[in-house]
């Protein structure tokens, strides 16, 4: 396994691996240790005390980040009739039904979030393999299958920045929470919202300490251990 480069090693020297950092201090370190020429994504990683094989210990959800993810979110809505009109008026980037399904089947994937009305789910089922692989399939549990009255709210929330999370095969959870260029307060509030969402998603089968540890990092930077007690997530 190749060793990290010189810039990474210099950045890592600023972090005490035996210490856990309060949220504000961790954010400050994340910004200081971001050394890439591009605007790095700030990530939050959890090591969970969950058995990924147990049905009652699965977690999946969405964190609504108050300051978004630092990029324009392209929202696609599967809808027809009056619902399609409402979605267009609410600012969805792309709205359609059978025509849109065919376009996606032909390889078009220029969108970041998909929303659907319930009557469209039977029609877009054939897109499961395409959208599922990219985590783009509308899902009632994620709040992306809604009636026409809720479309404006969901489209608005999607533009703010919806960071999806789920338990992976190694029993960990990973999510993006913003950009290194964000103001410290923006990152702190996004992180707090992300942590709260994961805590609220605690499954019924969880036993003992739910979250073992959490780490903040940038795309290229070193991990910064987070003191979960400081944000009330140590349960």
pLDDT at 4 over 80: no
CA-CA-CA-CA dihedral for 41, 47, 50, 51, to nearest 10: 90
pLDDT tens-digit series, residues 127-152:
999 998 888 999 998 889 999 999 99
Please report, for the chain, the start and end positions of each structural domain, with discontinuous segments joined by +: 12-59+167-231, 75-160
- The hierarchical CATH code for the domain 75-160 is 3.40.50.790
pLDDT category, 1, cuts 50, 70, 90?
Answer: very low
Q: What is the mean pLDDT of the segment spanning 32-57? A: 93
pLDDT for the residue numbered 133: 85
Strand-pairing partners, residue 173, are 46
Cβ–Cβ < 8 Å for 43, 216: yes
Give the list of residues 6+ apart from residue 129 with CB closer than 8 angstroms, or none: none
Please, which residues have CB within 8 angstroms of residue 202's CB and are 6 or more apart in sequence? 59, 210, 235
* 107: confidence class by pLDDT, cuts 50, 70, 90: very high
- For residue 161, what pLDDT band results from cuts at 50, 70 and 90? confident
pLDDT tens-digit series, residues 25-37: 999 999 999 998 9
Q: Can you list the alpha helix ranges (DSSP code H) found in the chain?
A: 6-12, 23-32, 82-89, 98-105, 121-124, 128-133, 151-161, 184-200
Q: What is the mean pLDDT of the chain?
A: 91
One of 3.40.630.10, 3.80.10.10, 1.20.120.80, 3.30.190.20 is the CATH number of 12-59+167-231, namely 3.30.190.20
Average pLDDT over residues 108-122: 95
Tell me the pLDDT band of 3, cut-offs 50, 70 and 90.
Answer: low
Tell me the whole-structure pTM to 2 decimals: 0.77
pLDDT of 182 > 90? The answer is yes
Same fold, 12-59+167-231 and 75-160: no
The yes-or-no verdict on residue 234 having pLDDT over 70 is: no
Q: If DSSP codes are grouped into helix, strand and coil, which group holds residue 199?
A: helix
């Amino acid at each position: 396994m190749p060793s990290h480069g010189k810039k990474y090693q210099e950045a890592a020297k600023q972090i005490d691996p035996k210490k856990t950092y309060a949220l504000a201090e961790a954010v400050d370190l994340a910004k200081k240790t971001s050394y890439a020429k591009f605007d790095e994504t700030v990530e939050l990683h959890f090591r969970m005390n969950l058995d990924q094989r147990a049905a009652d210990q699965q977690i999946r959800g969405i964190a609504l980040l108050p300051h978004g993810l630092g990029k324009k979110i392209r929202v696609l809505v599967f809808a027809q009739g009056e619902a399609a009109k409402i979605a267009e008026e609410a600012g969805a980037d792309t709205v359609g039904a059978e025509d849109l399904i065919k376009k996606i089947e032909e390889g078009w994937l220029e969108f970041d979030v998909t929303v659907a009305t319930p009557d469209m789910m039977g029609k877009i089922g054939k897109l499961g393999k395409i959208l599922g692989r990219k985590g783009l399939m509308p899902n009632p549990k994620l709040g992306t299958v809604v009636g026409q009255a809720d479309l404006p709210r969901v489209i608005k929330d999607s533009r703010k920045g919806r960071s999806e999370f789920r338990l992976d095969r190694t029993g960990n959870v990973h999510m993006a929470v913003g950009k290194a260029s964000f103001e410290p307060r923006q990152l702190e509030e996004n992180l707090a919202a992300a942590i709260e969402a994961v805590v609220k998603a605690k499954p019924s089968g969880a036993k003992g300490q739910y979250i073992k540890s959490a780490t903040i990092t940038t795309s290229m930077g070193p991990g910064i251990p987070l003191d979960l007690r400081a944000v009330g997530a140590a349960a």
